Structure 1
């Protein structure tokens, strides 16, 4: 416990300055195989849950997008995890979560296996409604959120949706998890947090359904960027240098947003498939199958170009670091953070 207190103190001592806002995104691995199981594990003080809370507390974000946490209708699991985070030394009393598309039934046999109600028949892959959803926790108050998750895929202008049966096209949503615009209410006005978690661009066939959807989930934001200051944050599930996928939409977003290229302090030895990667391993945010994609950069924070970034990083400590066991135990993803100078938002603005 003393070592953990030292870690948190060290991070806070070198964390965001008083005029900065630390924005983070993280898949904490808080998803389970059935409804209610996450809440059970949080209440039992499961070591994996406590590890995730330790990682977040050490990074000390002002606001964080969680892209791997089960949703329940009463918000019990999120409230319980917020309490665990407070006990870990970093209270974030403001929160937002809405029902995600993951696990939401369509009533159709979407994957053509002759059965309905399976994980692949849902709006987004999930064994139950809310599995592997999203949430936002914040130290600062949050404004009224805009939930774009009900937008149909076919209604996105220029959508790359492959041909679907009419009944499927009529109900198929674009978001595999969610698309949210959540204002963070700072002393300088509202900073719009544009959060999403996309389907991986793999696990499909020659029709490239997942690759096309992954592209379009990023392309959605090209038509929904607010005039107010914004930050794109979440898990686009796309490495722009390595892995599979269609990078065009993400690259187009970089015409409007900047990439601070957060780096981790440690990178594993680049062997196996990682040795053939073209991207900088310091930018990786996920540890995946070495026989498959290897380590990739799939989690991003992209502030608007008008905002001034004062620091960034990936929480990936070296094996000897006291925080390393918690990072390893919590998730196969790594927390990403970016510090934004609130002064760059301009004079105090009305809530937008």
Structure 2
């Protein structure tokens, strides 16, 4: 089931502080219905990020950590008033992206949690920021928490309790929809043209990295499991966005972390191939490519003439961490992906300096997540060739800088890129 709602169900931008898109259909929005919360004194010194130039579109990704181990738990959190959700909303209101992917936002079929967050948090000024409206949003089913009925972790038991049960879901999760995805947009989304690859089998990927026991070389997954296992741990979506400079395909995903497995490295292999799916999709596979078929049965990749922006938490750092060598380079070095300066932040540099650098090889300023045990660049916004990226950044203030306390609401930080057409 998918959810695609328009401005009639969402609160609007407060007129003070909002930027013009040049599109009367999105500028002429009603005033926000909620009262803005009174800003704390320290919040007043946090002005909004400068708006992109006219005709530019700000794309962003943000792993919000807005999930619950209980089915319906996120909605209850939001209804009760959630301090972390308010900080997450303040970050979004500060950066003011036009098109935004939220990772780790629990999915529910009725869209109640998404509506509560958009209405009661984004639609009300948080920590001295101005309310922001997203007339369009998209959410759909994900694989996390959905029972597979198979022994996916190889422990000899199907299902069970807690983490053991989660390991046997199509994607790790304790209930269907946990760690879901939500896309918010100021510009229309073409619902009829959305493509989802949630059901695509991992084994259908040519040359898939099937996990093996390193001591014997034997397959980790029995044949009946391997042929059924889905590739995407959450989902892969191609959402066409109608921007002021034309259609842009928003390619979003959240591959599994390359961890929490054994010597067979099944999660690291899956992470690599989840990333590879987009690389293959961009190779302009012909429409008769029988393996590359979406959930509606439409086959083939993204035509070479189409422009796109890849976004999401890909759980892979170019130089450090546990991902397989070259995993994220499949996208960073793809010939259709724009070569651009990597977004950076002062907070990432400060965190690395405070820890002595952790022995990492990559430049600390490009990191986007702090897991306590290390900081990595795992969140990406990657425009295609045929687009330009005049500005970018990561919202990660250094300690003591305005807004630094908001960033603590998640272990990831919002990454944004301003995009313009040729």
TM-score by length of 2: 0.77
SS in 1 for 2:375: coil
Shift of 1:305: 2.1
**Which structure is richer in relative contact order (CA contacts within 8 A, separation 6 or more)?**
1
Which of the residues 158, 161, 165 maps onto 2:222? Answer: 165
2:367 aligned with 1:331: no
Shift of 1:250: 2.5
Which 4+ stretches in 1 moved above 6 angstroms?
none
Count of residues paired in the alignment: 337
SS in 2 for 1:206: coil
SS in 2 for 1:15: coil
Shift of 1:337: 0.2
Distance 2:400 2:356 in 1: 25
Distance 1:245 1:273 in 2: 22
| Partner of residue 177, structure 2 | 130
2:307 aligned with 1:229: yes
Q: Could you say if the C-alpha distance between residues 87 and 4 of structure 1 is closer, same or farther in structure 2, counting changes exceeding 3 Å?
A: farther
Q: Which has the larger radius of gyration?
A: 2
Which of the residues 296, 316, 321 maps onto 2:401? Answer: 321
Which of the residues 277, 280, 292 maps onto 2:360? Answer: 277
- Which runs of structure 2 are paired with 1:82-231 in the superposition (5 Å)? 82-83=118-119, 84-88=121-125, 89-117=131-159, 118-144=165-191, 145-162=194-211, 163=219, 164-225=221-282, 226=302, 227=304, 228-231=306-309
Shift of 1:10: 3.2
Shift of 1:223: 2.0
Contact 1:8 1:57 in 2 (8 A): no
Note the residue ranges of structure 2 that are not aligned, 5 or more in a row.
1-38, 126-130, 160-164, 212-218, 283-301
Contact 2:61 2:103 in 1 (8 A): yes
Distance 2:310 2:96 in 1: 19
Note the residue ranges of structure 1 that are not aligned, 5 or more in a row.
345-352
CA RMSD of superposed structures (Å): 1.7
- Cα deviation digits, residues 216-266 of structure 1 (max 9, x gap): 001101221223110111011001111111242422322221343001133
2:72 aligned with 1:36: yes
Contact 2:138 2:184 in 1 (8 A): yes
TM-score by length of 1: 0.91
SS in 2 for 1:52: helix
| Partner of residue 248, structure 1 | 326
Shift of 1:166: 2.2
Distance 2:43 2:418 in 1: 22
| Partner of residue 51, structure 1 | 87
Shift of 1:289: 2.5
SS in 2 for 1:182: strand
